[in-house]
Structures are given as C-alpha cells and as structure tokens.
Chain A
Amino acid sequence: MDQYTLNLLVVGASFALYIGIAIWSRAGSTAEFYAANRGVHPVLNGMATAADWMSAASFISMAGLIAGVGYANSTYLMGWTGGYVLLALLLAPYLRKFGKYTVPQFIGDRFYSQGARLVAVICLIIISVTYVIGQMTGAGVAFSRFLEVEVSTGLWIASAVVFAYAVLGGMKGITYTQVAQYVVLIIAYTIPAIFISMQLTGNPLPWLGLFSTHTESGLPLLQKLDQVVTDLGFNAYTAQGSMLNMTLFTLSLMIGTAGLPHVIIRFFTVPKVSDARWSAGWALVFIALLYLTAPAVGAMARLNIIDTIFPNGPKAEAVLYEERPDWMKTWEVTGLLKFEDKNGDGRIQYYNDKAAGFTAQATERGWAGNELSINNDILVLANPEIAQLPGWVIGLIAAGGLAAALSTAAGLLLAISSSISHDLIKDWLVPGISEKNELMVARVAMAGAILVATLLGLHPPGFAAQTVALAFGLAAASIFPVLMMGIFSKRINSAGATIGMLVGLIVTCLYLFTYLGWFFIAGTNMLENVPANYLFGIPPAAFGPIGALLNFAAAYIVSMMTAAPPAHVQELVESIRVPRGAGQATGH
C-alpha cells in the first residue's frame, strides 16, 4: 500500500472515531447538551480542555519554531503553559461562581452596561478570527501534505472540512469526542518522538533524550547540535536571546491564555468552584505531556535535517539534489520546501547566508547562497519521514495535526457565532428573534468567519504559531485586564472598564496593523516588519503586555474620576469571591 492511501486510511479512521462517539453519546444526552461537562470526571474534563486548547499552533507549528531558533523560542513553551496558573488563581473559580455562560455576559453584568458587553463582543470576535487564521494555516499545511496538493488548495479543502465539522454542531460540545481527539493527538505526537529519541540517544523518553548523549558522536545531544548549526553559520541552538523581547512575549502569551474567551468558557460549566481550580491543573498536566516533548522534537528534528543534507557532517559535501530523500520530493509538491541550485553544482547547500562572519567560508567552499528553504510549519509533520519511520506513523501524525486544528477551530467558531447570535442579536438588536432565525444567524456568522479566515490565511501574517500568538496579544490587551479588575477591585466602574478595553484593543491593533498590514491584509502595512522599525525594539507579537498595561491604567484613571459602581454590583463582587452558594451555571 502506498503512503497516500495509508494517510487517507488513518485520517479517515480518526474522523470516523469522532463522528461515531458524537452519535453514540448524543443519543442519551440531548437535554444536557449545554451541561456537557457536568458529571464528567475532572481528569476526563482536563483531557477535553487540553484538546480544545492545543491547536495547530501547538501541534504542527511550535516545535518547528523552536527547532529554527532554539532557546530564544522557549517563550512559546513557558507562555502557553504559564497562563494556566493565572487562570486557576485569578479567574476560573470566580467566573464559575458567577455562573453564566459567556465572557461578554460577565463583563456586561459586572460593569452593569450594555456598552461594555458590546465592546467585549467586538474584542472576542477580533481575537477569535485572528486565532482561526492560524488554525487554517496549520490545517492547510496538513491537508496539502497528505492529499499531495499545493498549499493554497490544501487551505480551501481545510476550510470546507472545518465548515462541515463546525456546522455539524454539537460535536464540539461533547466532551467524549474531545477526549478521543486528545488521545489521537497525544499518541500521534509522542510515538514519532519516542522512535527518534531512541535512534539518536538510545533513551526511549524524549523528555530525557533531549538532555542525553548523542549515540553517534558521544557528545551530549545539545552540544552536538550547537556544533553542527554553528558550522553552518547559524546561531548556537542554546544561545542567549533578547531578554526584553523574551520576557514581553512570554508575558503576552501567558496573560493572553487567561484572556481567551473559548478557554475561559471551559471553566464556567464545571460542577463546582473547587472543580474549576482542579480542572485547570488537570488540563495543564495533559497539555504538559505534549509541551515537555516538544523541545525534544524540535532539537532532534533540526539535527536530523542537517544530517540528511550533510550525510558526512557539515564540513563535508552536501547531498546531491538527484539523490535527495523521498520526503523532500513530497514536500516540494506543496511548495513549502524549495530548492534552488544557485551555484549550479547539483548539491543542496543549506546554511545561514545572512551571517556576516560566515560569508568568507561559504565563498571558499564555492557556495552562492542558501539553496534550501524549509517552512517551519512542515517540520513536525515531516519529522517521521525525515527519521524514516514506518508509513503508519506518518499517517498518524497527519491525523493528530488535523485533530488539533479542527477541535480548536470548531471551538473558536462556536464562540464567535454564539456571541454574535446571542450577545449581539438576541440580547440587544432583535430581542424577539425566533430560535430558528437565531440559529440561522449563528450559521451565517460561522460561515463568514471561516471565509474571512481562509482569505487571510492565503497570505498569513506568519507561521501558524506566530499568527496565533497575535491573537494572544490581543486577548492580553483587551479581555484579561477587565476580568481581573472586575474580580479584584470593587472600584472599577463601567466607564473605566469600557474605556480600558477600547484603549487596550485599539492601541494593540494599531501596533499590529502598522507592521503586518491593515486587518492582516498582506501588503498594506505602513512600516516594514523589521526590528529597526519597532517602538523600543518591541516586535508586534510581544506588544500584548503593553496593551494590557494601558488598559489597566486607563480603566483605573477613568474609574477614579467617575462615580463608584452601585451597591448591588459591589455585592456581586463580594459574592463571587467566596465559593459557598454557587448554583448551577445558567444561560440567562
């Protein structure tokens, strides 16, 4: 059986599993649809939350970004896990006590204002659509590879599948489907990592393999890696990064995590306030299973790629293009891996042609520039092929990547459509809307969001994980500060919160659009996206904490200048601070 058929079979089987579970569990629980989490063991709920949370960015893209840069991209690892500490300590238990279903609802009630709720809906839509662009990018890469088509075709296929998947509806809400997706995703991620760790270090645990000895050279793996990358003019893998940028970017991802509407929602519906704290812990345990493996995947893949291109070490001749391995041929079809024979010697020279100190050596060896470009987003998916693992492992990783992208995309689309149909239309613009029409609006909103995300995904503002990181910056700047102030301060009033959110959102959006194009439309940026142009050297993706700071400051100043919130709101804040008396979560 050829690889193409095998991929289709494995991916098809995983889809059949999700649909099967959805049908099986829906039969008995239609009435409890909205309370899908209730009665589910906290450990299973943690798995489901982990599947919801880990998207194409975590699965497909992150290890590739770490591989490309090394230590300096540890920010993704710390940032996307540390946010759960903030969630568990600062938000989840109190929002659960409040007992409603959507983030704009909490903001509307706590700040006793329809205007604040409306602004929250706008923030939610902008954050979620940006996030979906990243998912589409990742799913597009996965489809283009396993269907062996061009990447833009893969993107359209992904958009059709996401549409069918999200409109099938309920599937997203069923915890057991997500548990299945988590299981597929984590197996798909871990198995190739174990194989590769065994090959390179003899240690079956990739977490430890990263810090073990490289069998072939007898050196520690990371030292060996530092050596081969610097031999090709790249920065050492473990080299220091910019402290300011790393700190701000990590902070942006952490507070962004705690401000993402579709993540917060997970904690609204757990049975008890104390469960909200435990759930965050269990979710992080399951997330960590992937995140502790990811740095090993990145480092080992980087070593394997260089080893493929320079079979006798970077000091010797590179491989002939005619003799390149099959995985390169299949990825060339997608356009995500490109070879250009600049010096016409028929060999693939892969090195850092931007390093000033390396040009002399490159010229001496007759190299006329780097000849191979590898898109970071293909690395995890190509990893099993690079390591020459069995065909079923290659199919499995495609299935895992799609599970990650689809589960998160569906969750985001549901958050977008429900906030438009519910917060915007039903509770505000057209109060008397029929249930049928409300559903119609929800579907149209979903289709619209997919279309926008797909069009923008054709020329994405970055690799999947980078685009997703922008969504975190926006969430950090807009939603997180008002939620936190709403719980920890009784003095912040509706004017303060509304203006705070607007300031955080608008300033952050303007900063992003300046470098990445208006509404992320390629080519409309006012300044070139290079470090020399950045304000204080802060890259757009690391701007979230600055936006959050402005949000906090604006909300505080405006609140101090205007009247304190009414007594009933101050009592509401008192009541959400203690667990006792938490009822069931209600929709209205």
Chain B
Amino acid sequence: MTDKSSNAYWAANIRVIYICLAIWAIVSYGFGILLRPMLSGIAVGGTDLGFWFAQQGSIVVFIALIFYYAMYMNKIDREFGVDEQ
C-alpha cells in the first residue's frame, strides 16, 4: 500500500469516528443531560424524552453506533485493500 492511500484510509477512519462520536455525545450529554429542559415538552410514558434518553435511549443508540462503525470499517478496509486476508 502506498503512503497516499494509507493517508486516505486513515483520514476516512478519522472522519467516521468524528461523526459517530458527535452522535454519541448528542444522545447522552445532549438529550440526556444538557438539552433535557428543552425537550421537556415531549412526553414519554409519564415523564419526558430527556429522561428516556438518559435511562434507556442513549444505550440503544450506543449499540447501533458500534455496529455501524464495525460494518463501515469492514467496507473501507476492503476498499483500501487493508483488510485481513
């Protein structure tokens, strides 16, 4: 593998990490904690959306993020020819 494609592979990886971590932070620190007062108008089973994100919602999103990342990386590993043979 040339240096150039190696740099492009790493840049693609960093990009997807940024996106995933942004979502990771928004659902937990955002919806679950800091933005909860803003979401208080949205009712969920006797309480509000922020409460649900803090107690359950963020966990579900975390799982989805890891599986998405694993699938995405498998794909670009192959595209850049750096997958394990």
CB within 8 Å of B: which residues of A? 71, 74, 77-78, 81-82, 84-85, 88-90, 93, 207, 210-213, 219-224, 238, 240, 243, 246-247, 250-251, 272-274, 277-278, 280-281, 284-285, 288, 291-292, 295, 574, 577-582
Contacts and interface: CB of A to CB of B under 8 A. Distances in A.
B73 A274 contact: yes
B68 to A, nearest CB: 9
B51 A292 contact: no
A77 B58 CA distance: 9
B82 A211 contact: no
Interface string B42-69: 0011111001101110111011011101
B62 A247 contact: no
A85 B20 contact: yes
A292 B60 CA distance: 9
B58 A274 contact: no
A407 B34 CA distance: 36
Interface in B13-43: 13, 17, 20-21, 24, 28-29, 32-34, 36-37
Contacts of B10: 577
Nearest to B65: A85
Contacts of A574: 6
A210 to B, nearest CB: 7
Contacts of B47: 211, 220, 222-223, 238
A84 B67 CA distance: 11
A288 B60 contact: yes
29 contacts: A77-B55, A78-B58, A81-B62, A82-B62, A85-B65, A85-B66, A88-B70, A89-B17, A207-B56, A211-B44, A211-B46, A211-B47, A220-B47, A222-B46, A243-B33, A250-B33, A274-B73, A274-B83, A281-B66, A281-B67, A285-B63, A291-B59, A579-B82, A579-B84, A580-B1, A580-B77, A580-B81, A580-B84, A580-B85
Contacts of B74: 274
Nearest to B64: A281
A250 B29 CA distance: 8
B66 A250 contact: no
Given A211-B52, A284-B63, A285-B63, A278 B58 contact: no
Of listed A78, A291, A582, residue having the most chain B CB within 10 A: A78
Contacts of A247: 29, 33-34
A78 B59 contact: yes
A280 B63 CA distance: 9
Contacts of A219: 46
A246 B50 CA distance: 13
B34 A284 contact: no
Nearest to B66: A281
A219 B47 CA distance: 11
Given A78-B28, A580-B82, A277 B70 contact: yes
Contacts of B13: 577
A81 B58 contact: yes
Nearest to B55: A295
Contact of B83 (A90, A220, A238, A580): A580
A556 B28 CA distance: 28
A295 B54 CA distance: 10
A212 B28 contact: no
Contacts of A284: 62-63, 66
Of listed A89, A243, A246, residue having the most chain B CB within 10 A: A89
Contacts of B77: 274, 579-580
Interface string B68-80: 0110011001000
B70 A278 contact: yes
5 nearest CB pairs, A to B: A220-B46, A211-B45, A74-B54, A277-B70, A222-B46
Contacts of A210: 45, 55-56
A284 B32 CA distance: 19
A59 B65 CA distance: 25
Contact of A288 (B17, B59, B65): B59
Contacts of A285: 63
B41 to A, nearest CB: 14
Given A89-B21, A274-B74, A240 B36 contact: yes
Contacts of B83: 274, 579-580
A219 B70 CA distance: 42
A260 to B, nearest CB: 17
Of listed A82, A295, A580, residue having the most chain B CB within 10 A: A82
A243 B17 CA distance: 26
Contacts of A577: 6, 10, 13
Contact of A85 (B9, B21, B44, B81): B21
B84 A272 contact: yes
A208 B42 CA distance: 17
B60 to A, nearest CB: 7
A273 B21 CA distance: 20
Contacts of B24: 82, 85
Nearest to A299: B55
Contacts of B51: 71, 74, 222, 238
Given A82-B28, A281-B66, A574-B6, A77 B54 contact: yes
B69 A89 contact: yes
B36 to A, nearest CB: 7
B69 A84 contact: no
Given A74-B54, A274-B70, 20 more contacts: A71-B51, A71-B55, A77-B59, A78-B59, A207-B56, A222-B45, A224-B46, A243-B33, A247-B33, A272-B84, A274-B73, A274-B83, A280-B66, A281-B63, A281-B67, A578-B1, A580-B1, A580-B81, A580-B83, A580-B85
